[in-house]
Amino acid sequence: MEPQRLRDLYDRQLRYGARPEGPGCRVERLGDVVRQTGPAHAWNGVLWSRLDASAADRAIAEQIDHYRTAGLSFEWKLYAHDTPADLGERLLAAGFTAEAPETLMAAEAASLPLDAPLPEGVELRPVTDEAGVRQVVEVHERAFGTDSTHIGRRLLDRLAADPDTVTAVVALAAGEPVSAARLELCPGTDFAGLWGGGTVESWRGRGLYRALVAHRARLAAERGHRYVQVDAADTSRPILQRLGFLTLSTTTPHTYAA
């Protein structure tokens, strides 16, 4: 499938057709905006919009008012192909902060290399309980240098309430967690999402990222999802390109503090 058609499918199924991500979350389709609202530790924000210049500022103000009334910080997930073309500038003018852009990439799961070997002495362990979630959070914080408590809470929520929609794995070297990643399955769609792939610095460059992509792509294909998608950072984009992922767009999170 050519990139634009795949991007249109992604927009239709995962953005406009988004389903709630966890307990207590709801997705609302309000004219030309789709948003999710949930607990403070959940992901709150605008998933999709189709605005023109005459309606954009009013829609932005409405979303700010909605989340401010709820006492929630939120994110407007802005894609390069969203309209109007100056939507990012309008968000900044309204008080949002732009985070680092990422590249939206996708590939056919079954077409990817599915047998990437692990480094010697490393084993993969499925995450099924709170202890495993703590290891995922530990890896994420060591790999990215950020507080990842909220990621652990969201993962625990999903494992408890809807375990068929998420799977996580941690790579262990002599019992030490050195890499971790999640696969988020989207029932009723062609897509599964690759999230949170991170490796601690001392283990980078040994093929762990590639092995975790292969592991999750295999699971996605086995569970009936044709495509896997990822919001790729600059460090992972070249690896994914070599594996056969296509670039569909870029996405820049714009955050608004409560």
Query: What is the token pair recorded at 221?
Result: 């294909």
Q: What is the three-class DSSP state of 174? A: coil
Cβ contact 12:45 at 8 Å: no
Axis-axis angle for helices 130-144, 149-161 (nearest 10)? 150
In tens, the pLDDT along 31-45 reads: 999 999 999 999 999
The band of 1, judged by pLDDT with boundaries at 50, 70 and 90, is: confident
- Average pLDDT value over all residues in the chain: 96
pTM score, whole prediction: 0.94
Which DSSP state fits 80? T
Strands 166-173 and 122-127: antiparallel
Q: What is the pLDDT of residue 181?
A: 97
Is it the case that residue 116 has pLDDT exceeding 90? no
Is it the case that residue 74 has pLDDT exceeding 80? yes
In tens, the pLDDT along 129-185 reads: 999 999 999 999 999 999 999 999 999 999 999 999 999 999 999 999 999 999 999
